[in-house]
Amino acid sequence: MAWGACIAALLLLLLAAAGGGNGGVHCLEEGSRSRGRRALQGRHHLRSRAVAGATVLELRHHTFSSAPSKSREEEADALLSSDAARVASLQRRIETYRLIGSSPDAAAATGTSKAQVPVTSGAKLRTLNYVATVGLGSGEATVIVDTASELTWVQCKPCDSCHDQQDPLFDPSSSPSYSSVPCNSSSCDALQVATGSVSGSSSSSPACGGAAAACSYTLSYRDGSYSRGVLARDRLSLAGEAIDGFVFGCGTSNQGAPFGGTSGLMGLGRSDLSLVSQTMGQFGGVFSYCLPLKDSGSSGSLVLGDDSSVYKNSTPIVYASMVSGDPLLQGPFYFLNLTGITVGGQEVASSSGFTTASKVIVDSGTVITTLVPSIYDAVREEFVRQLAEYPPAPAFSILDTCFNMTGLREVQVPSVKLVFDGGVEVEVDSGGVLYFVSSDSSQVCLAMAALRSEYETSIIGNYQQKNLRVIFDTAASQVGFAQETCGYI
């Protein structure tokens, strides 16, 4: 049987790893992937609970079941095209933040509470992003977990123009704790500071008819998607942990393929209105996640707070320092310095080397890791050299390094390690190295892509963060990594 051969190969791999091997076996049996997808589609309500003083949210991939039937290739093309649009949008935003001149007053806050929330794959809601369910007012909302967003927003009644979603629309009239945010408020000012000067890809233009009028917002993205509505307050519930007066966007006009069937976005970026900043008192500016493999059928988790005792990491946590500098100039992004990459144990060398130009952001909302051309070319060259036994296949969408692996039951995947400041090494899960375009494995691609220019910023996407515990500690200005087989903890 195919699985028997694969299990045997995995056992051999474990023995090799004990002796210093550097690779991974990827099983190519289509039946198992289909079973994983069917199991995934049967579950969409995401759990949350408090464990050992931490708040845990279940994370999952989501695919929107009401979408027209598409082939695997068509679906992959749509998702990767959307991902490319997001990357272009992020590049525009990063560049614009560099041009912002002044910095807002830093808010000093501390906290020691912890909370945990389940995180899931977004495959069921037609996106390769990850989603979690939170309580808002008297209802629930399933939202995309996004570390590059400044503001949490959901679709609201009455909705002038909204994308389809699996949960009922948020109804402000049914929530006694709901209130709109007036224009003459610090939150409305913070909204403009966070996004008002960012033109082209994400913009906000609070429109007011008077000081007491509701603060309205418009968030638009380069791929044409957008959310418009008013800034509001309501009670946010995270595994029983209540955050009263949580500021969010109540969107009455929202459109965009990236949102799939979700209710909106959870903003986990570094800005005054993000969930991280607004819960500083409860969770101390620390959160982490573990993102499951799309077809594994398992859930990941989003942990709010610094209680590492709830993690299930199999390796020690290693921390890389965030790039220091003016927080406003860096926007909501989590920047690290990438100092090297190894492929199958071989360190790659780019034409420009790994210098300050190799600053990267760690992003949960981007799927495929994108690298500046000189670094990507070096990775590609080494990858092709090590997989020379497999015939090449045509490029697909943004993926240009593809192979024909038809008829194979498993393939030895070269290990990929990312190296950050201080010699911090992070190994990419073998399931995050290859992207299977076709169900018959006739088109299997390196799951990385090149940016257009050396002057753009590399992005570590969620496809390469799978089965890792990634810890964002804004108080200590560091990002931690550890191996972890993701499961709802």
Catalogue the active-site residues.
Answer: 146, 363
DSSP β-bridge partners for residue 479: 320, 472
d(CA 272, CA 104): 9
The string of DSSP letters for 27-41 reads E--HHHHHHHHHHHH
Sheet strands (E) in 256-317: 264-267, 286-290, 300-304
CB contact at 8 A, 293 and 485:
no
| Strand pairing category for 410-414 and 23-27 | antiparallel
Tokens 């400041």 belong to: 421
* Amino acid occupying residue 408: L
Taking residue 81's Cβ as centre, other Cβ atoms within 10 Å add up to: 14
Which residues, 6 or more positions from 409, have their beta carbon under 8 angstroms from its beta carbon? 2, 5, 6, 27, 28, 29
363-to-51, 86, 461 alpha-carbon distances in Å: 26, 11, 6
Kind and range of the H or E run holding 91: helix 72-99
In this structure, are residues 78 and 257 in contact, taking their beta carbons and an 8 Å threshold? Answer: yes
Of 112, 120, 53, 455, the closest CA to residue 262 belongs to: 120
73 token code pair: 């290739």
CA quadruple 353, 390, 292, 3: dihedral positive or negative?
negative
**146 three-class SS:** strand
Within 8 A by CB and 6+ apart from 306, the residues are 112, 114, 283, 284, 286, 473
Q: Name 305's Cβ contacts closer than 8 Å, sequence gap at least 6.
A: 53, 54, 55, 112, 113, 114, 115, 116, 282, 283, 284, 286, 287
Burial of 240 (0-12, 13-18, 19+ CB in 10 A): exposed
Q: By the 8 A CB rule, do 3 and 32 touch?
A: yes
Backbone angles phi and psi of 382, in degrees to 5: -70, -35
